[in-house]
């Protein structure tokens, strides 16, 4: 099992956060995540939605690259349908160079408000796949000639190439059945978000099983690919303390997403689609997620309404008290 951290960068105008200070606290979390031994720190990209304040992950990832040395740095996910794939390839190649080869590159389609905001009317999965083909060609060959449905590119060369060869690890965001299928057909590891795409862990398990069957049917080895699942998390000395700290901040986040994801904190907690509790509960839930077929759990611990001290303490308790006990006695 691998364990990482994720930050979506939610904000809420009512909180009147000092944005510069908020970004600095994010970078402190990256540094602390490295010292605690987490595999990767993933940055979200969102526009118009989630009150998101990370429209350009490469900016924060550049800063993170210069203040860390071992933790991997991921984007979860780059919204390729709205971006020029050549420019994207160049920018993320710079991150791989600055970090000394620590980039993990996740891609996805975005949310309904982003489709509206960017004026995209069609189902953009085909555009995503085509743009990813351009990025991968740019990284493998350093030169792109590509003629598809959405992109016409003639002999364009890149001056910046990633350190990792033949290319950095690429992850595919998988929420819908269709995305699980595309990832399985093309042999990409996946990044899932259960609360946003599944009623319960039983549904997560069905989708992961479908993905692994699709991998096998298309000549890919399921055991060689990561199955990542991201879960909203807060760890404290007891279940009651964890809920007391996390519920107001998480509820604020879920309320902002109500038009798209109608479940609130209490329903998600009851369905065990978020991980808030003491060590024992977190160990149980990590094992439940692993039982769905996941081998990479990514904890989302930063919420705009939660103070930095509580976030850092949760990160430490997970790394020092929970993860060393995962799987013991099973």
Q: Which of 189, 196, 175, 166 is nearest to 74 (CA)?
A: 189
What is the DSSP secondary structure assignment for residue 197, as one 8-state letter?
Answer: H
The tally of CA atoms less than 13 A away on the side-chain side of residue 116 is: 5
Q: Tokens at residue 227, please?
A: 């199955």
Q: How far is CA 265 from the centre of its chain?
A: 20
So what's the pLDDT on residue 41? 98
Distance CA 71, CA 23 (A): 18
CA Rg, the chain, in Å? 19
Distance CA 46, CA 23 (A): 15
So what's the pLDDT on residue 49? 75
So what's the pLDDT on residue 173? 98
Place of tokens 């001056």: 159
Per-residue pLDDT tens over the stretch 49-105: 767 999 999 999 999 999 999 999 999 999 999 999 999 999 999 999 999 999 999
Buried b (16+ CB within 10 A) or exposed e, 181-194: bbbbbbbbbbbbbb
Distance CA 297, CA 226 (A): 10
So what's the pLDDT on residue 295? 98
Per-residue pLDDT tens over the stretch 190-212: 999 999 999 999 999 999 999 99
So what's the pLDDT on residue 74? 98
Distance CA 23, CA 25 (A): 5
Kindly report the backbone phi and psi dihedral angles of residue 16, in degrees, each rounded to the nearest multiple of 5, phi listed first: 50, 50
So what's the pLDDT on residue 330? 37
Q: Tokens at residue 110, please?
A: 């975005």
Secondary structure class of 144 (helix, strand, coil): strand
So what's the pLDDT on residue 112? 81
Q: Across 69-218, where does the E strand assignment appear? A: 72-78, 103-107, 143-147, 152-157, 170-173, 190-192
The H or E element spanning position 40 is strand 40-43
So what's the pLDDT on residue 328? 54
Distance between the two ends of the chain, CA-based, in angstroms?
Answer: 14
The tally of CA atoms less than 13 A away on the side-chain side of residue 290 is: 14
Q: What are the residues facing 230 on neighbouring strands?
A: 298
Residues of the chain with pLDDT under 70: 50, 122, 327-330
User: Which domains, ranges and CATH numbers included, belong to the chain?
Assistant: 39-173 (3.20.20.30), 177-330 (3.20.20.30)
So what's the pLDDT on residue 261? 79
Name the pTM for this structure: 0.96
């Amino acid at each position: 099992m691998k364990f990482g951290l994720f930050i979506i960068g939610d904000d809420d105008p009512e909180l009147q956060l000092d944005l510069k200070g908020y970004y600095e606290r994010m970078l402190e979390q990256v540094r602390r995540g490295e010292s605690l031994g987490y595999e990767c720190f993933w940055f979200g990209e969102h526009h118009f939605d989630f009150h998101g304040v990370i429209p350009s992950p490469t900016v924060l990832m550049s800063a993170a690259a210069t203040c860390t040395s071992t933790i991997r740095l991921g984007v979860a996910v780059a919204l390729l349908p709205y971006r020029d794939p050549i420019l994207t390839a160049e920018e993320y190649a710079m991150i791989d160079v600055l970090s000394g080869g620590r980039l993990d590159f996740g891609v996805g389609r975005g949310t309904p408000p982003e489709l509206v905001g960017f004026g995209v009317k069609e189902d953009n999965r085909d555009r995503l796949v085509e743009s990813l083909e351009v990025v991968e060609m740019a990284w493998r060959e350093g030169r792109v000639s590509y003629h598809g449905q959405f992109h016409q590119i003639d002999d364009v060369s890149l001056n910046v190439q990633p350190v990792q060869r033949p290319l950095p690890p690429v992850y595919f965001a998988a929420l819908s059945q269709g995305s699980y299928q595309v990832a399985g057909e093309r042999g990409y590891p996946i990044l899932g978000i259960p609360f946003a795409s599944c009623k319960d862990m039983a549904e997560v398990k069905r989708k992961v099983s479908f993905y692994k069957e699709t991998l096998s049917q298309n000549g890919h080895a399921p055991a060689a690919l990561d199955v990542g699942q991201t879960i909203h998390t807060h760890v404290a000395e007891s279940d009651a303390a964890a809920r007391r700290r996390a519920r107001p901040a998480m509820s604020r986040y879920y309320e902002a997403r109500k038009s798209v994801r109608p479940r609130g904190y209490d329903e998600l907690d009851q369905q065990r689609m978020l991980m808030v509790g003491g060590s024992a509960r977190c160990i149980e839930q990590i094992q439940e997620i692993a039982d769905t077929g996941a081998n990479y759990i990514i904890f989302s611990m930063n919420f705009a309404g939660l103070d930095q001290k509580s976030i850092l303490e949760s990160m430490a308790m997970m790394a020092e008290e929970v993860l060393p006990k995962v799987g013991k006695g099973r």
